[in-house]
Each structure stands twice: as C-alpha cells, then as structure tokens.
C-alpha cells in the first residue's frame, strides 16, 4: 500500500479528480514524454499514463547516440538528416548535463574509403549549420590509432574523424518527466490503459488500472494521444478493433563490454557491415556499447531477447576492426530493443523503412504518433501537439521547447569528457542527492552507484520497483547484469524503507529482478 504522503497518491488523486484534461498522453517513452512536455509547457492541462515504467521499452535500449543519421544521408533522405541534426543541436543546448559531444573515427582499410566517406561527412557537417558539433577531417594512421588504440593496425590507411552527440537515454526520459512535472503535468507509471472512453462517437478519455492497488479508474480528456511506440497498434485496436497494423517492428541488439576494447575516448563507426547497416562501438559510462542489428520480428514484447546469431554478428564485425576483439565471455550485458517502424510495401527490407515519425488520426479522433527516434523527440512532440490542439479546439499557443532548458540544466552544465562522473547526469540535483544518507556507500564494487541514489529515485523520480531503479534510474542492468543481480537485495531493502513495503515484497522484487537480469547475460 502507498502512504498518504507518497507522491504517487497525490498524482493518482489529481489524475482521477480533475474533471477533464486538455490532453491525455498514453505512453511514457521518448515520444510520449516529449509530447506531454510540449503540451504542458504550452499551458494545456496534461496527464500522462505509462503502463509499466518510463522508457521501459525501446526508449532505454538505444545506441545512446544523439545523431543526424549518417546512413540516412547515404539513402538520400537529406530532409530527415537536416531535421535530426538541428534537433541534435537543440538537445545539446537544452540538456548539457545529459548530452555531450562525441568524436567518431571511420577507419579506412582501403585506399578509396577515406576520401569516399570523408566527402559524405563533409555534407553532414554542412547540413548541421550553426548547430554543428565540430568539423570532420582526415586522420593519418598514427593519429587514428592514437584516438582508438584498439584499432587493428594491419593495412590501416588512416580514417575520418567526425562528431555527433551521445547521451543516456533513460536518464533523458526521467529528466523529461521531471521537467513535465515542473510545468504542472501529472504522470503515473505502472498504470496501463485498458480501454478508451467515447462520447458522441469520439474518443473522450480512458480507463486505466493502478497496478499497485488493482483498482480501475477513468479519466476524461479533450484529446487522447497514443504514443506507445511498438505497442501503438494495441491501443489503436481499443478504438477500432479491426484496425490494420501500422507497424513492422524491427529488433536492434547491443552488447556491452569493458572500456579496454576501445582504449580511448573516441567511438568507432563502421559505415557498412555485411548486412548493409552501420555499426557503432561507443564509450558509455566507462564501458563500450557495440551495435546494432536490424532483424524483423513478428511480435512485440516488453522484454525482447537477442538471437544468438545477432550477438555473433556484432562480435564478428567488431573483430574485423578491434585487436584484441571482445568475445562472448567478455560481454557484461546484452540488450535488445524494438524499433516502431511504419509499414511499407510488402517485402520491403526493414533497413529501408523510414525512421521519420508519422501522425494518424482515427475516425473517432484518437491521435497516434509513432516512428521517429530519440534525437527528434522534441520535434515529434511539437508536431503532435499542434495537431492535437487543432483537433480538440484548444487555444493556439506557440512552442517553447526549442529553447527550453530541461530539469537540472545549469548555466554552465556541459558534460565534459568521456570520463565525467555519472553524478553530472543529475545536473543541479546532484548536490541534493549527495546530502542524502548513503551518498558514500556503493551498491556494488563493480558499479558507480550509491544508496543515496536509490532513495532519490524513490522520492523524486517515481521509481516503484527494483527494476525501475537498476535498469533505468541507474544503468546497472546494462553496465553489468551480474553485478546488478548481486545489488538487488540492498536496493529492495532501501526501496522497502522508502515506500513502506514488507519483507515479502522485498523477496518477490529480488526474485523478479534476478530472473529479468538473467536474460541480459550470456553466461
């Protein structure tokens, strides 16, 4: 049970006792949070309902890049690249504690590859315009090796250096949540929508279940936005049971290994793998994230699992560029995410499907937003709220988000250097967290996180379960799946203390988390 002083009780009361919301957003990933913040910052009364936890699905399982999409340029989609590069610059400016500049090296092992890719990356620079993060340039072999000490030396002809952005996706989601709440928005996680309300033939609200009590509640809204990512078709069928699927989900897998497999502060971009994709090896939280794959999947799942051949593909490709190369025994964690790609003609390869976002409005007025990617979350929200306001007859108001500093951003809050402490991700909240009990007590010797951060996650960031903490408020699950399993009992005890839970709850939480984390380990 939740206590009367629990912020969740307050949010639940406000959600269910507000006569009518201007905007109801279903889904707490990048698109849902971006839309909710856009609406609330314009002064619309906004409620967000998330069935599990913020960024539980695709939005916490990215390659951790804020980028324009180099490979979209190769596909000729210049407009998408220009828009994404513009949004990349806004993210860097508005969340300097979360987004940093990242240098990438394209290694050249043939005489033609450096000039060929160098030309394309010069166009990439030009499209970024005033919001460029740096200019690309040629690297001699010795300089390429200085930046990526683990590069294979044999036949190395040099490389191209270019710049993109890097971030922590789940921390960005939590920051959007906090910013949304700062504007008076109300959000509930672990509150799945189970049905839609109708009035005069139009969608007019939703029914949802509070998973913590089992109770069902109803809320009314002038417009309902379906921003549930790969699960968008499920919500659409609550409105139109015979609705044809919009999405063709594709799975992307990443492996996480120790930092020594790169050796420096720069990332590697492989511009063309055997299956025609781009592969990255990126420094992240003192580890290296390597990925990704593009595998069509027939069904959506909250916990997609990597196929053995996907892991092999990533490691085999990495072995062509790195020495020493990581093996399965070196993998700290492996994770899979599903892309909400919009369907195209029968037989179209998922690699060729557009990553642009799509907005559709049903005959009953349900507005569905899907597609897109993290880098363009703000633009997706702006476009969606423009349509939603028109649909609901809300007063027209200009967007504030292009220049809106996100929660925790300091005036000089840039994330400097790959080795910057994880405390910087909290921005201006960091000192408050460090003042809490346990700020100097590590949860696990292989992880940088402290007991104080668990308390903060429960008090201020709506963490309700051990998974919420170790997978998304902290990134322990992705950094070291085994270590996170070992930290689970202490996290459960701290959460129980903060949320008023008993010993039975703690045991159930540890068992559930360890089972979940087992799926992120190869051994």
Query: Which residues share a beta bridge with 46?
Result: 23
Nearest alpha carbon to residue 181 among 519, 459, 465: 459
Determine the pLDDT at residue 352. 43
Q: Residue 47, SS3?
A: strand
The per-residue pLDDT for 488 is: 98
- Is there a contact between 166 and 65 (Cβ–Cβ < 8 Å)? yes
Distances (CA, A) of 286 to 9, 60, 433, 440: 38, 18, 22, 19
Cβ neighbours, 10 Å, residue 393:
9
pLDDT at 349 > cutoff 50? no
* Residues paired with 282 in a beta bridge: 289
The dihedral built from the CA positions of residue 265, 443, 50 and 195, taken in this order, carries a sign that is positive
Average predicted confidence (pLDDT) for the chain: 93
Q: How confident is the model at residue 355 (pLDDT cuts 50, 70, 90)?
A: low
Query: Residue 386: exposed, middle, or buried by beta-carbon count in 10 A (0-12, 13-18, 19+)?
Result: middle
Please determine, for residue 346, whether its predicted confidence score (pLDDT) is greater than 80: no
CB contact burial 146-174 (16+ within 10 A = b; e otherwise): ebbebbbeeebebbbbbbbbbbbbbbbbb
Range scoring the smallest mean pLDDT among 96-100, 151-155, 301-305, 345-349: 345-349
Given this model, what pLDDT does residue 411 score? 57
Using pLDDT thresholds of 50, 70 and 90, give the confidence band for residue 279.
very high
**375-389 confidence digits (pLDDT tens):** 999 999 999 999 999
Among 33-37, 109-113, 479-483, the range scoring the smallest mean pLDDT is 109-113
Instruction: Identify each DSSP E strand in 67-149 by its residue range.
Output: 99-108, 137-139
- Report the helix count and the strand count for the chain, using DSSP H and E: 16, 18
On the question of pLDDT at 338 being above 80, the answer is: yes
Q: CA 447 → CA 173, 356, 444, 492, distances in Å?
A: 21, 36, 5, 17
The more confidently predicted of residues 352 and 9 is 9
Q: What percent of the chain has pLDDT over 70?
A: 95
pTM for this prediction: 0.95
Assess contact for 108 and 270: CB atoms under 8 A: no
pLDDT greater than 60 at residue 413? no
Which residues pair with residue 49 across a beta bridge?
26, 188
- For 488, phi and psi rounded to 5 degrees? -55, -45
The pLDDT, as a whole number, for residue 347 is: 40
pLDDT at 308: 96
Residue 72 has pLDDT above 90, yes or no: no
Task: Say how many C-beta atoms besides its own lie within 10 A of residue 421's C-beta.
Answer: 11
Say what the pLDDT of residue 5 is.
Answer: 58
| pLDDT surpasses 60 at 414 | no
């Amino acid at each position: 049970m939740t206590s009367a002083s629990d912020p969740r009780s307050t949010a639940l009361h406000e959600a269910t006792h507000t006569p009518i919301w201007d905007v109801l957003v279903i889904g707490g990933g990048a698109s849902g949070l971006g839309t909710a913040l856009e609406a609330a910052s314009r002064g619309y009364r906004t409620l967000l309902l998330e069935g599990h936890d913020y960024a539980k699905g695709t939005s916490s399982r990215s390659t951790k890049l804020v980028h324009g999409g180099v490979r979209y340029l190769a596909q000729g989609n210049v407009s998408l690249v220009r828009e994404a590069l513009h949004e990349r610059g806004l993210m860097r400016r508005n969340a300097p504690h979360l987004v940093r500049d990242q240098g990438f090296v394209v290694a050249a092992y043939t005489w033609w590859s450096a000039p060929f890719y160098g030309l394309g990356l010069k166009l990439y620079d030009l499209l970024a315009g005033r919001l460029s993060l740096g200019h690309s340039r040629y690297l001699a072999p010795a300089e390429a090796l200085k930046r990526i000490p683990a590069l294979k030396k044999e036949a190395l002809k040099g490389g191209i250096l270019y710049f993109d952005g890097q971030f922590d996706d789940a921390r960005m989601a939590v920051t959007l949540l906090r910013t949304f709440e700062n504007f008076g928005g109300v959000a509930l996680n672990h509150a799945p929508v189970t049905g839609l309300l109708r009035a005069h033939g139009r969608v007019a609200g939703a029914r949802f279940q509070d998973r913590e009590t089992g109770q069902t509640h109803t809320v009314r809204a002038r417009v309902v936005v379906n921003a549930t990512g790969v699960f968008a078709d499920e919500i659409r069928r609550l409105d139109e049971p015979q609705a044809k699927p919009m999405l063709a989900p594709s799975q992307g897998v990443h492996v996480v290994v120790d930092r020594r497999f790169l050796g420096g502060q720069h990332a590697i971009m492989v511009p063309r793998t055997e299956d025609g994709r781009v592969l990255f090896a990126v420094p992240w939280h003192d580890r290296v994230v390597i990925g990704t794959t593009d595998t069509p999947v027939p069904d959506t799942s909250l916990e997609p699992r990597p196929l053995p051949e996907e892991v092999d593909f990533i490691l085999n490709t990495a072995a062509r560029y790195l020495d020493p190369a990581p093996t399965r025994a070196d993998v700290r964690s492996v994770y899979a995410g599903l892309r909400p790609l919009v369907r195209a003609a029968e037989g179209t390869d998922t690699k060729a499907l557009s990553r642009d976002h799509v907005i559709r409005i049903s005959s009953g007025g349900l507005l569905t937003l899907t597609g897109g990617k993290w880098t363009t979350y703000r633009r997706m929200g702006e476009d969606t709220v423009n349509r939603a306001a028109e649909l609901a007859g809300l007063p027209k108001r200009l967007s504030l988000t292009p220049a809106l500093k996100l929660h925790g951003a300091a005036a000089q809050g840039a994330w400097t250097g790959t080795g910057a402490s994880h405390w910087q991700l909290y921005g201006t909240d960091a000192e408050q967290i460090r003042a809490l009990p346990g700020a100097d007590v590590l949860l696990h010797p292989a992880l940088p996180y402290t007991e104080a951060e668990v308390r903060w996650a429960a008090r201020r960031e709506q963490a309700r379960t051990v998974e919420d903490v170790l997978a998304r408020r902290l990134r322990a699950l992705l950094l070291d799946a085994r270590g996170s399993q070992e930290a689970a009992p202490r996290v459960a005890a701290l959460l129980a203390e903060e949320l008023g839970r008993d010993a039975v709850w703690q045991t159930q939480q540890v068992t559930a988390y360890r089972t979940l984390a087992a799926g992120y380990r190869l051994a």
